[in-house]
Amino acid sequence: MHPLRKGASGTFLAALILCTLLSPQAAGESPLLRRGMRGVEVAALQERLVELGFELAVDGIFGPETEGAVKKLQEVLGLDPDGIVGPLTSAALDALGELVVAYTVQRGDNLTKLAQQYKTTVSRISSYNSLANPDRLLAGQVLYIPTKAVAVTGPASRLNFQWPVQGTISSGYGSRIHPVLQVRHFHGGIDIAAPEGTPVKAAEAGRVIKAGSMGNYGLGVVIEHSGGVTTWYGHNSKLLVRAGDLVKQGQTIALVGRSGLTTGPHLDFRIKIGDQTVDPLQWLP
């Protein structure tokens, strides 16, 4: 199945409605949706899941089929696959809603040009908008363009990350005892141990939005990618980029160090969707 359902603006607007329903800013608190619940919120959730490529009925009933789709989504994003749409899953859905761009056609536009601009393909734009004649675009026409990060049911077709540094994973993602403070906390990334001075490379192309001292995170770099996804690189000994720089995948952006609160040289690598961290091991090759 194509990762996105063939549909027009109605289903896309339903996705935007879901993002509003699930937005902590709009509701004050993210709603909790789980198996056994019914109603318009569940129907909106189902619409959004179908839009992202899952096959299920949009009936407003949170049954085993919907729960299974939510669990699969959570697994792909590196979240706890409990099948419950709580704050983390809501935030992920909200961020994923930004991966489809509404574009107003300008005179002289064509699908090849737009596909190159948004790093997608002509067939994906055509299928998503159900275009009868892909070769004929009208000025003022609105197209919904799925970027390369939108295919949630096929993780490999999202951003194609590479490892930022070669080394040993000394600490994984999730709950752990802090190596310095000796208290249990949630570790939002993975620690990759490597000799001091080892080149740290951009996991994917993007724009540097932060570069400098970040408290306990030490000398850090944050790179913004498409769809509200950012990568974080911490505890470096030296930074080789500045905020505003455009970087290529594999470009050396820093050197491994032990700045900040740490016991030895390593890279603390993190991936975020919006403000929420996800397990990098679910995204790396």
Reply yes or no on domain 168-282 having CATH 2.70.70.10: yes
DSSP per-residue codes, 228-243: GEEEEEEEEEEE---T
In this prediction, residue 278 carries a pLDDT of 81
- In this structure, the strands spanning 190-193 and 184-187 are unpaired
Distance CA 109, CA 104 (A): 10
pLDDT at position 28 is 41
The per-residue pLDDT for 2 is 32
CATH class of 1-152: mainly alpha
Q: Would you state the pLDDT for residue 210?
A: 94
Axis-axis angle for helices 40-51, 9-22 (nearest 10): 120
Residue 20 to residues 76, 100, 229: CA-CA distances in angstroms? 22, 15, 19
Q: Which residues pair with 10 in a beta bridge?
A: none
CA–CA gap between residue 165 and residue 268 (Å, rounded)? 10
**What is the predicted pLDDT for the residue at 122?**
81
Spell out the domain ranges in the chain.
Answer: 1-152, 168-282
Q: Which residues pair with 232 in a beta bridge?
A: 222, 270
Task: List beta partners, residue 266.
Answer: 193, 257
**Overall residue count recorded for the chain in this entry:** 285
* C-alpha to C-alpha distance for 29 and 81, rounded to whole angstroms: 21
Spell out where the chain has E strands. Answer: 100-104, 142-146, 168-171, 174-177, 184-187, 190-193, 199-201, 206-213, 219-224, 229-239, 246-247, 252-256, 266-273, 276-278
Stretch (H or E) spanning 158: none
pLDDT (tens place) for every residue of the chain, 285 residues total: 333 333 333 333 333 333 433 343 334 445 689 999 999 899 888 887 876 667 788 899 999 999 998 988 887 667 788 999 988 888 777 766 556 666 788 888 888 888 877 777 787 788 777 788 888 888 888 887 766 444 444 473 357 899 999 999 988 887 766 666 566 667 788 999 999 999 999 999 999 999 999 998 999 999 998 777 899 999 999 999 999 999 999 999 999 999 988 889 999 999 988 777 888 887 888
pTM of the model: 0.50
Q: Can 1-152 and 168-282 be said to share one CATH topology? A: no
